[in-house]
Amino acid sequence: MIYVDADACPVREEAIRVAERNGMTVTFVSNGGLRPSRHPLVRIIVVEDGPDVADMWIAERAQPGDICITSDVPLAARCVAAGAHVIGHDGDPFTPANIGNRLATRDLMADLRGADPFRQGGGRPFSKADRARFLESLEKAVRKAA
């Protein structure tokens, strides 16, 4: 099973392509805004509105052999702890070896943003290289999960 934290996910179509090639179900979880799909391998789960509701839905179901796609570091940590393979939208894997550092970095950056209310900017734009890295990483995760 592939679970996708689908709010603001830039790689939905890529996840479907990999699921098709491997005969896996892909479940998109969101609190709204996704179009229905008639694809036989795609499930759309719309959860109620609220902070982290979609994340909780995924985390409660993730288990060994599943693949979770998210850029949310706390969700990634919960899925890694459950034994799932987790990758970010940019293809970077979340693993037991790196999740502690990724959580610490996330918390540090949140503190820095909170300390400087004039700090502007966001993440870098999503690139073709990120998309290619994601596809390669998802294929590897599928092989490991099999």
pTM of the model: 0.85
Q: How many domains does the chain have?
A: 1
Q: What is the pLDDT of residues 84-139, one digit of tens each?
A: 999 999 899 999 998 877 777 776 766 666 777 666 656 677 788 888 999 999 99
Residue range of the domain that includes 61 = 2-120+128-145
Instruction: Note whether 54 and 28 are within 8 A (CB).
Output: no
- Give me the sheet containing 2-5, strands edge to edge: 42-46, 26-30, 2-5, 67-69, 85-87, 93-94
Segment (H or E) for 15: helix 12-22
CATH code, domain carrying 78? 3.40.50
∠ CA 44-88-126, rounded to 5°: 95
Q: Do 3 and 62 form a contact (C-beta atoms < 8 A)?
A: yes
The per-residue DSSP string of 33-96 comes to -PPP---TTEEEEEPPSSTTHHHHHHHHH--TT-EEE-S-HHHHHHHHHTT-EEE-TTSPEE-T
Is the pLDDT at 19 greater than 70? The verdict is: yes
